[in-house]
């Protein structure tokens, strides 16, 4: 396949994308220039829903490994590309299938709700999946009153404040969101007294306690569109600031911490997206036995939202 070299990087990607009948799905935490070439940009829930309904032959997933794996689970006949195969999620890797099987033996009466930030093997061992956008609704939908929530202890703790279910947590966490601290919010509230504080539910409980709104990245984007919001203190990965500013150029967005950067998300660059489409690699696949069980877990979630 020959692509004219005098085209810009973005133009070469778009041309090759058309020739491959590919769709580019991009998470809200990606680099700004990667967000700007997206066919769809969103949170894990929106990206899963889009992957499930796309008619393309190829999905270029600009996010981390579990997201590309979820697309491969939902779309077995498509080629799913993750432009850098090192782009993993440390939280998803904090539990594996064997550890989950052991925990299930300790808690035989609990239903397992897994956060979408988990491997396909862990999803296959779980009863239902959720994202940060629908976690409370999913947990409430489970008939059982006892829940084992994996792997994010902080999201689990947040859900437990919204439900009467008896909840057990796995001690996983997001290292990026753990860098968002309550002391920084308290300082910023003094500096910007009119600003709304909006944080992601992967944040620590003491951070969530200071928030006006707790939401997924998709929810944060929607909240920023409200007319009464002019200034916003944002407690999540700072990649989201690009989209917030682009959609709301007359509003002010203040990240709680400039340190809240997910190095894995930032591994995806425009050069790697182009290379990935040229080479049709790296491809993410899930073995059929695991895929079918993991799909049942994800499908259950998609019928609820
Ligand atoms: S921001 Fe946190 S949860 Fe999201 S991919 Fe990075 S490490 Fe994983």
Average pLDDT on 242-260 reads 97
**Whole-number Å distance between alpha carbons of 272 and 126:** 33
Q: What angle is formed at CA 25 by the lines to CA 66 and CA 33, rounded to 5 degrees?
A: 110
Closest by CA position to 253, among listed 173, 204, 188, 187: 188
Paired strand residues for 80: 59
- pLDDT at res. 1: 57
C-beta of residue 41 within 8 angstroms of C-beta of residue 33:
no
Nearest CA to ligand 1 atom 5: 89
Q: Is 117 in the pocket of ligand 1 (CB under 6 A)?
A: yes
The residue assigned the tokens 């929607």 is 222
pLDDT value of residue 297: 97
The conformation of residue 113, written as its DSSP 8-state character, comes to E
| 111 Cβ inside 6 Å of ligand 1 | no
Looking from the CA of 58 toward its CB, the CA atoms found within 13 Å total 22
Return the percent helix, strand and coil in the chain, to nearest 5. 45, 15, 40
Residue 5 alpha carbon to ligand 1 centre in Å = 35
Which residue owns the Cα nearest ligand 1 atom 1?
A: 262
Distance 216 CA to ligand 1 centre (A): 13
Position in ligand 1 atom list of the atom nearest CA 91? 8
Query: From the CA of 56, how far away is ligand 1's center (Å)?
Result: 27
Instruction: Return the ligand 1 atom nearest residue 152 CA.
Output: 3
Q: Is 264's C-beta closer than 6 angstroms to any atom of ligand 1?
A: yes
CB atoms within 10 A of CB 264: 20
Average pLDDT over residues 281-296: 97
Q: Where are the beta strands (DSSP E) in the chain?
A: 22-27, 40-42, 58-62, 79-81, 111-115, 128-130, 146-150, 166-169, 196-199, 213-214, 231-235, 252-255
Per-residue pLDDT at 205? 98
pLDDT tens, position by position, 77-124: 999 999 999 999 999 999 999 999 999 999 999 999 999 999 999 999
Measured between alpha carbons, how far is 227 from 77 in angstroms, rounded to an integer?
Answer: 43
Q: pLDDT category, 6, cuts 50, 70, 90? A: confident
Give this prediction's pTM.
Answer: 0.95
What are the phi and psi torsion angles at 39 (to 5°)? -80, -35
CA distance linking residue 114 with residue 127, whole number of Å? 8
Strand-strand pairing, 111-115 and 166-169: unpaired
69 lines ligand 1 (CB under 6 A): no
pLDDT of amino acid 4: 63
Q: CB-side exposure of 268: number of CA atoms within 13 Å?
A: 34
Ligand 1 atom closest to the Cα of residue 117 is 3
Instruction: Give the residue carrying structure tokens 């491997």.
Output: 119
Q: Is the pLDDT of residue 3 over 70?
A: no
Distance CA 161, CA 110 (A): 18
Residue 277: other Cβ atoms inside 10 A: 25
Nearest to 174, CA basis, from 269, 88, 45, 86: 88
E strand map for 47-156: 58-62, 79-81, 111-115, 128-130, 146-150
Cα angle at 266 between 265 and 268, to 5 degrees? Answer: 85
């Amino acid at each position: 396949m020959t692509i004219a070299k005098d085209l810009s990087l973005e133009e070469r990607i778009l041309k090759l994308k058309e020739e491959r009948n590919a769709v580019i799905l991009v998470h809200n935490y990606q680099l700004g220039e990667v967000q700007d070439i997206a066919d769809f940009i969103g949170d894990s829930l929106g990206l899963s829903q889009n992957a499930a309904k796309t008619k393309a032959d190829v999905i270029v997933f600009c996010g981390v490994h579990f997201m590309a794996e979820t697309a491969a689970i939902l779309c077995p006949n498509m080629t799913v590309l993750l432009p850098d195969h090192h782009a993993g999620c440390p939280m998803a890797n904090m539990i594996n299938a064997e550890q989950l099987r052991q925990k299930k033996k300790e808690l035989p009466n609990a239903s397992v709700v897994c956060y979408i930030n988990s491997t396909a093997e862990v999803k296959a061992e779980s009863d239902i999946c959720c994202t940060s956008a629908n976690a409370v609704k999913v947990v409430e939908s489970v008939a059982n009153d006892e829940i084992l929530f994996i792997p994010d202890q902080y999201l689990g703790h947040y859900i437990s404040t919204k439900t009467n279910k008896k909840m057990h947590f796995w001690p996983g966490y997001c290292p990026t969101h753990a860098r968002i601290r309550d002391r920084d919010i308290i300082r910023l509230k003094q500096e910007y007294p009119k600003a709304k504080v909006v944080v992601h539910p992967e944040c620590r409980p003491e951070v969530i306690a200071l928030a006006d709104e707790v939401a997924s990245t998709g929810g944060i984007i929607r909240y920023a569109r409200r007319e009464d919001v002019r200034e916003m203190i944002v407690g999540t990965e700072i990649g989201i600031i690009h989209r917030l500013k682009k959609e709301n150029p007359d509003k002010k967005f203040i990240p709680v911490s400039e340190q809240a950067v997910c190095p894995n998300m930032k591994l995806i660059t425009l050069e790697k997206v182009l290379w990935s489409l040229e080479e049709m690699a790296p491809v993410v696949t899930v073995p059929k036995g695991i895929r079918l069980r993991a799909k049942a877990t994800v499908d259950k979630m998609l019928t609820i939202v």
